A and B are shown apart, each in its own frame.
Chain A
């Protein structure tokens, strides 16, 4: 058992820096920005270090305070955890880059952002059931505060609702922890896995414990019918916060669910209690359908994106519910891919709203020509969401579909295939509007009998004059996030095999 210090640093450094940031701003305000950037870069470095260690020598552990794991708190990272840690760090950095251009830039918002990153990283590295609750709450509180800080009564209301529902979810989860503790007397993942098996998978305490934890997490994931808090919370916040909420917070909740199934309750528990599998698949399918239809009915882009999160995570949870290795692999790929794509989309939506005031679908008419870089990124990301091959959105669906097929889950298979059309129904018009605006006349000067107008010089064939080039050039911080995300959408799709090499070993427990 190796003691790996960077594991602790993953959680501790962002917390320390989050506390330090407001102080630094007070005494040396010019250093606050670079310090925050440094914090995110450090986080990415640490995450990369942990990931490479996991890749080279398997899961790494750290016993906090030197207490033996079944009594003290243990941090454990396997490939799945490492992938989430890396995701949190990179998406966090992307969101931070955006804040350097379009804000919010104040120390409090940055401190809360770092706190959120600390909490999410903690969720990914902890090996303790109660500790997981603590990190869920840290992340949750940072998230509520971030939403509440945005101006306007609607945001305050959304934040309050988010707080209420989130706390209910966390409390239900805590109740589940209590039951599990009562049944086994331990909170360590590995020890629980052994003791729960000993207590028996049909023991009412064990079953009730899982049931409460599952419902609690379902609320945090925003599975239908517990999804109604999400669209307001995610769309009322500033873009840089929406990225963290839609890309990371819900993702971490799904990760917690997968972790419970893989390492704590184990797939054997699920096989013994098929009702939970059915519930997961049903809730997932319902989320795909309800989220998809709701997204289709939105005019505001951010709400559309928020509802799409409900639909996409529904697909992930349905895949987890199948509980076969191949389906869960697909679910995890889709989970990671969705985080990257949704993060990029929210960043691009934010930049377009800041620069052109475009918040509705109608306002996106022709924006792709004025902002080719952002427009192109949005197009790739949206098509990835639809599941066009070879993007990562396709690979996740493929594995989930293969899993559904192998188990003869025909309804789920049909929904996976149908979800392509559903997401095309709302992402398709977005992409079309970007590049083929409704107001696009057939062709300027074509109806003109003379056939020639001022711009038709001899060698000017089809060159579009900068009809409405933006006055100011696009700052790097506004495009780098979406463009990197778009590249990753394709790269992770073609290179999904390498992602699976990292996360695969953690999922081998599934049959």
Chain B
């Protein structure tokens, strides 16, 4: 069904970015634009959900772009799953951003909020892209739109990281472009088709394999698959709200989303299976999830550790999509949402800790529950969810993933998932225990930079209650994010993500 709503979803945050620039001199009005736009976007996206759950697909063909490829938008199950997730979390992250940048008195706040809105606009473009070329266009623009946020600090380190960020982004984009070209030359079409573009089936297998490798590699850059993950931990130099919504949800999931589009809607499960591409991709994902889980444990900086954990979690999703078993794909799609809720919560915690104490490293977190009781408690909940405790978001998605893998006899892959979960426990357990239980820091504290920000040697953290531990602009969004994670764990079927994921699996795999 033709509908202007996907276009509206892209335009609304883009217009908000312009409005934010226009109101640069009036901060409160400027922030009101962000909040209102984010709520409006949520309304627009949510309004499409019931129809799509009922089997409808909204499309919009604007104009021809290049020969045979129109500028087209498409709102199907997969698109809405991603768009709804991003638009649901944008208002939350916006409130948090306001609290964060104002508490830290950040410079260039207008640029910050405008870039944030622009990034969301581009993310909507990624979600609602109607064919591979349009997806590529938005995928490239995503690198551009998020660049100002990565280099926000303006320090030499931020600029170095920014260069690398653009180089990786463009490398991925160019690989996607090359893949698009090949698919276009082979099939004459780039339109997303549930189950794959038919014309690719008869094409030269070598070229099809090359195209698949280029597209998977290209989207794999943002999905942070081996060996392309290195930009993500570096990008943690950005302000924490950016790390939370963009580098744990929007940007990285654009990569995963692109991969899912390529596997399920361009090549199609049949072709991917016959060409033996599924096994290679699954193995790569399994290796990434293990390696990143190991690397996370070795990190001293809190946010870097979380970033490696993101790398590891993203590969669960890639793995699930790659094996092409209905249950595993379903679990992977659920995990897109589940991981978003939990990682958002964890980054929100990291941000609160930084705002209140300027601690960036894991070591000085010992006993910080005295200073930030509610934050520490919610951190524990979110961490438990990420490890995979029942009644939390991570459990549901991982359950389906494992059921799918075991049901198909992929014992090794299932083992990798379980081991990675165990490694997550190894990463989070010491942090959680030291946050809650540790006594006063011992006297052997030296001038180690990784302990900056902690309490004085031999002292405990100052005691505060949840009422005065931090501002509600920061705590409110955290409570909301953890709330989503719990709701997703307790009543997953009540949230639209469940139905949307079901819809995708039925559409593509017919099961």
Query: Do A and B interact?
Result: yes
Binding site for B on A (CB under 8 A): 326, 383, 388-390, 394-395, 398-399, 401-402, 405-406, 413, 417, 420-421, 424, 428, 432, 435-436, 438, 440-446, 451, 456, 459-464, 494-497, 500
Chain B nearest Cβ from A364, distance in angstroms: 15
Interface contacts beyond A402-B181, A443-B107, A462-B107: sample of 15 additional A-B pairs, CB < 8 Å, sorted by A? A405-B185, A424-B170, A428-B166, A438-B159, A442-B154, A443-B106, A459-B27, A460-B27, A461-B27, A461-B105, A463-B24, A463-B109, A496-B65, A497-B63, A497-B66
A500: chain B residues at CB < 8 Å are 67
B194-226 residues at the A interface, CB under 8 angstroms: none
Chain B nearest Cβ from A449, distance in angstroms: 12
Give the docked Cα–Cα distance between A389 and B144 (Å).
Answer: 11
Give the docked Cα–Cα distance between A398 and B178 (Å).
Answer: 10
The answer to whether the Cβ of B71 comes within 8 Å of any Cβ in the partner chain is yes
B490: chain A residues at CB < 8 Å are none
Give the docked Cα–Cα distance between A31 and B31 (Å).
Answer: 51
Given known pairs A388-B144, A496-B66, the reply for A401 and B71 (CB within 8 Å) is no
Do residues B108 and A464 form an inter-chain contact, with CB atoms below 8 A? yes
Do residues A402 and B141 form an inter-chain contact, with CB atoms below 8 A? no
* Residue of A with least CB distance to B139: A389
What 10 A-B pairs have minimum CB-CB distances, sorted nearest first?
Answer: A462-B109, A440-B154, A389-B137, A461-B27, A497-B64, A443-B107, A405-B185, A442-B155, A461-B102, A390-B137
Given known pairs A388-B141, A421-B174, the reply for A461 and B109 (CB within 8 Å) is yes
A444: chain B residues at CB < 8 Å are 107
A435: chain B residues at CB < 8 Å are 148
* Residue of A with least CB distance to B157: A442
Chain A nearest Cβ from B40, distance in angstroms: 23
> What would be 11 A-B contacts, judged by CB atoms less than 8 Å apart?
A388-B144, A395-B65, A436-B148, A436-B159, A436-B162, A459-B27, A459-B28, A460-B27, A462-B105, A463-B109, A495-B63
| Max count, chain A CB within 10 A of own CB: residue among B148, B162, B177, B185 | B177
Query: Which of B24, B63, B166 makes the CB contact (< 8 A) with A464?
Result: B24
Give the docked Cα–Cα distance between A417 and B179 (Å).
Answer: 11
The answer to whether the Cβ of B273 comes within 8 Å of any Cβ in the partner chain is no
B105: chain A residues at CB < 8 Å are 443, 445-446, 451, 456, 461-462
Cβ proximity bits B103-119 to A, threshold 8 Å, 1 near / 0 not: 00111111010000000
Give the docked Cα–Cα distance between A443 and B181 (Å).
Answer: 44
Do residues B141 and A461 form an inter-chain contact, with CB atoms below 8 A? no
Give the docked Cα–Cα distance between A446 and B104 (Å).
Answer: 8
A424: chain B residues at CB < 8 Å are 166, 170
B148: chain A residues at CB < 8 Å are 435-436
Do residues B170 and A402 form an inter-chain contact, with CB atoms below 8 A? no
The answer to whether the Cβ of B136 comes within 8 Å of any Cβ in the partner chain is yes
Give the docked Cα–Cα distance between A389 and B162 (Å).
Answer: 20
Do residues A405 and B182 form an inter-chain contact, with CB atoms below 8 A? yes
Query: Which of A388, A390, A440, A460 makes the CB contact (< 8 A) with B65?
Result: A390
The answer to whether the Cβ of B448 comes within 8 Å of any Cβ in the partner chain is no
Do residues A462 and B112 form an inter-chain contact, with CB atoms below 8 A? yes
* Residue of B with least CB distance to A441: B154
| Max count, chain B CB within 10 A of own CB: residue among A413, A417, A420, A443 | A443
The answer to whether the Cβ of B164 comes within 8 Å of any Cβ in the partner chain is no
Do residues A389 and B166 form an inter-chain contact, with CB atoms below 8 A? no
B174: chain A residues at CB < 8 Å are 417, 420-421
Chain A nearest Cβ from B240, distance in angstroms: 15
| Max count, chain A CB within 10 A of own CB: residue among B25, B144, B181 | B181
Give the docked Cα–Cα distance between A383 and B140 (Å).
Answer: 11
Give the docked Cα–Cα distance between A424 and B182 (Å).
Answer: 23
Give the docked Cα–Cα distance between A252 and B108 (Å).
Answer: 44
Chain A nearest Cβ from B501, distance in angstroms: 30
The answer to whether the Cβ of B15 comes within 8 Å of any Cβ in the partner chain is no
* Residue of B with least CB distance to A398: B66
The answer to whether the Cβ of B151 comes within 8 Å of any Cβ in the partner chain is yes
Give the docked Cα–Cα distance between A74 and B276 (Å).
Answer: 62
Do residues B107 and A464 form an inter-chain contact, with CB atoms below 8 A? yes
Query: Which of B31, B151, B154, B182 makes the CB contact (< 8 A) with A443?
Result: B154
A417: chain B residues at CB < 8 Å are 174, 177-178
B110: chain A residues at CB < 8 Å are 462-464
Give the docked Cα–Cα distance between A462 and B102 (Å).
Answer: 8
Give the docked Cα–Cα distance between A461 and B108 (Å).
Answer: 9
* Residue of A with least CB distance to B28: A459
B144-171 residues at the A interface, CB under 8 angstroms: 144, 148, 151, 153-155, 159, 162-163, 166, 170
* Residue of A with least CB distance to B101: A462
A401: chain B residues at CB < 8 Å are 177, 181
* Residue of B with least CB distance to A461: B27
Give the docked Cα–Cα distance between A494 and B431 (Å).
Answer: 51
Give the docked Cα–Cα distance between A373 and B140 (Å).
Answer: 23
Do residues A395 and B66 form an inter-chain contact, with CB atoms below 8 A? yes
Do residues A443 and B153 form an inter-chain contact, with CB atoms below 8 A? yes
Query: Which of A428, A436, A497 makes the CB contact (< 8 A) with B154?
Result: A436
Give the docked Cα–Cα distance between A495 and B105 (Å).
Answer: 43
B28: chain A residues at CB < 8 Å are 459
Chain A nearest Cβ from B333, distance in angstroms: 27
Query: Which of A389, A421, A463 makes the CB contact (< 8 A) with B136?
Result: A389
A402: chain B residues at CB < 8 Å are 181, 184-185
Query: Which of B27, B112, B178 makes the CB contact (< 8 A) with A463?
Result: B27
Query: Which of A388, A398, A436, A451 makes the CB contact (< 8 A) with B140?
Result: A388
A398: chain B residues at CB < 8 Å are 66, 181
Give the docked Cα–Cα distance between A494 and B185 (Å).
Answer: 21
Do residues B153 and A442 form an inter-chain contact, with CB atoms below 8 A? yes
Do residues B27 and A432 form an inter-chain contact, with CB atoms below 8 A? no
Give the docked Cα–Cα distance between A418 and B170 (Å).
Answer: 11
* Residue of B with least CB distance to A417: B174
* Residue of B with least CB distance to A421: B170
B126-142 residues at the A interface, CB under 8 angstroms: 136-137, 140-141
A463: chain B residues at CB < 8 Å are 24-25, 27, 109-110
B140: chain A residues at CB < 8 Å are 388-389
| Max count, chain B CB within 10 A of own CB: residue among A388, A424, A500 | A388
* Residue of B with least CB distance to A428: B166
B18-73 residues at the A interface, CB under 8 angstroms: 24-25, 27-28, 31, 63-67, 71
A495: chain B residues at CB < 8 Å are 63
B65: chain A residues at CB < 8 Å are 390, 395, 494, 496-497
A462: chain B residues at CB < 8 Å are 27, 101-102, 105-110, 112
Do residues B144 and A383 form an inter-chain contact, with CB atoms below 8 A? yes
Give the docked Cα–Cα distance between A496 and B170 (Å).
Answer: 23
B63: chain A residues at CB < 8 Å are 494-495, 497
Given known pairs A463-B27, A464-B108, the reply for A432 and B71 (CB within 8 Å) is no
Give the docked Cα–Cα distance between A428 and B28 (Å).
Answer: 33
Given known pairs A401-B181, A420-B174, A436-B154, the reply for A326 and B109 (CB within 8 Å) is no
Query: Which of A399, A421, A436, A460 makes the CB contact (< 8 A) with B151?
Result: A436
| Max count, chain A CB within 10 A of own CB: residue among B105, B136, B159 | B105
Chain B nearest Cβ from A454, distance in angstroms: 13
A432: chain B residues at CB < 8 Å are 151, 159, 162
* Residue of A with least CB distance to B110: A462
Give the docked Cα–Cα distance between A461 and B141 (Å).
Answer: 28
A494: chain B residues at CB < 8 Å are 63, 65, 71
A445: chain B residues at CB < 8 Å are 105
